[in-house]
Amino acid sequence: MSIEAKEKEGAVLSTKTTGDFRPSRRSLSPVSKVALGGFLTGAILCGAVTLVVTLTGGHALTLLITTLAFLAGAIFIATRIRWMPLLSILISGLLFYLIFTEPYVVDSLFNPKTDPQGGFGHFVGDITIIVSLLIAFVGSVGATVQNYRQNKQQAVRWFPSALSVIAGMAIGAILIAAVAQAAPATTGTAYVNGVPAVHLSAGAFLQSSVTISKGSKLMLIDDVSSLHVLANGSWKSGAPNPMREPGAPVISNIQVSGSTIAIGPFPVAGTYHIYCEVHQGMNLTIIVQ
């Protein structure tokens, strides 16, 4: 073999050896592009909600983390490195946890028309974000399968069917929520073990007023793990108005989160008000007779 041929062979071997230590990049397949679109759509939607909640004085830490997680998933896919879709699958698992443990989301999914944080519009927004996540997850799984096949160009046959199922579930959920009758507002006074009670959702009292007997206590039952900080007073025109009416028991910095507490007793007949310092517009009127 000539010296020139040996040099060429050595150059080829050197190139191959060097290539083994570099990440294997490939052009984005249609499946990867779908996954990327799902992550980016979720990031945009969550980012917009985060901005609105922040501007209105709400707590947006979980929303911010969710937005960043969606962006991380998109970045992993966009790198085009062979093993990165595996990380996107893990990110999808984190996002499922963040979304389905968020009290506002749970409240909206179970009460699509009576949810005080936006009603049916909030429900549709949550469904859209969940659909984006499902598409991103299925796309990440499809991209991983495709990247590790011997024939990289072979289509992932189940992928179109999976997208059809996701679309059908989303459309069905929205249609069912749209035609379903809203649950009637809670009226009257409910009792738990003989004590008058009011239930709390993620961001509201489930009834705006309650009537109790003089000398009674009032039980407050938080149905979801959402932090409420209660005090004497009410929200007026979007601003907190701390005020303790004469005869009202002192209610200050009482925290409720997925638990039950009793306030009172209320020894003097009259009309009293309490509110949540965390959730704008969350008021309860207590009528003592």
Is the model's pLDDT at 13 over the cut of 50?
no
Tell me whether residue 202 is in a domain.
yes
Tell me whether residue 74 is in a domain.
yes
Which pLDDT band, with edges at 50, 70 and 90, does 11 fall under?
very low
| Mean pLDDT, range 18-23, rounded to an integer | 46
Residue 19: the pLDDT is 44
Of 269, 271, 264, nearest to 286 by C-alpha is 271
Tell me whether residue 272 is in a domain.
yes
212-236 tens-digit pLDDT: 999 999 999 888 877 889 999 998 8
Same domain, 46 and 156: yes
| Mean pLDDT, range 30-56, rounded to an integer | 91
Question: How far apart are alpha carbons 232 and 283 in whole angstroms?
Answer: 10
Alpha-carbon torsion (172, 175, 179, 182), positive or negative? positive
Same domain, 36 and 170: yes
Residue 12: the pLDDT is 45
Same domain, 75 and 138: yes
Q: Which range has the worst mean pLDDT, 4-18, 74-88, 177-191?
A: 4-18
Same domain, 93 and 211: no
Question: How far apart are alpha carbons 159 and 257 in whole angstroms?
Answer: 41
In 142-155, which positions are buried (b, 16+ CB within 10 angstroms) versus exposed (e)? bbbebbeeeeeeee
Same domain, 175 and 254: no
Residue 9: the pLDDT is 53
Whether the Cβ atoms of residue 259 and residue 246 lie closer than 8 Å to each other: no
Q: Please give the DSSP secondary-structure letter assigned to residue 148.
A: T
Is the model's pLDDT at 37 over the cut of 80?
yes
232-249 tens-digit pLDDT: 999 888 788 899 999 899
Q: Name the domain boundary from 139, 154, 179.
A: 179
Q: Which domain holds residue 251?
A: 190-288
115-137 tens-digit pLDDT: 666 678 888 999 999 999 999 99
239-281 tens-digit pLDDT: 888 999 998 999 988 888 888 899 989 999 999 999 998 887 8
Tell me whether residue 197 is in a domain.
yes
Same domain, 139 and 194: no
Tell me whether residue 1 is in a domain.
no
Q: Is 215 in a helix, a strand, or coil? A: coil
Residue 288 or 16, more confident: 288
Q: Name the domain boundary from 179, 212, 247.
A: 179
Same domain, 36 and 86: yes
| Mean pLDDT, range 146-172, rounded to an integer | 85
Is the model's pLDDT at 7 over the cut of 60?
no
Residue 151: the pLDDT is 62
Residue 116: the pLDDT is 63
Residue 220: the pLDDT is 92
Residue 15: the pLDDT is 43
| Mean pLDDT, range 189-214, rounded to an integer | 86
Same domain, 220 and 159: no
Q: Which range has the worst mean pLDDT, 32-36, 80-84, 129-133?
A: 80-84
Q: What is the domain count for the chain?
A: 2
Tell me whether residue 143 is in a domain.
yes
State the chain's mean pLDDT as an integer. 84
Q: Name the domain boundary from 156, 179, 202.
A: 179
Same domain, 175 and 198: no
Same domain, 57 and 171: yes
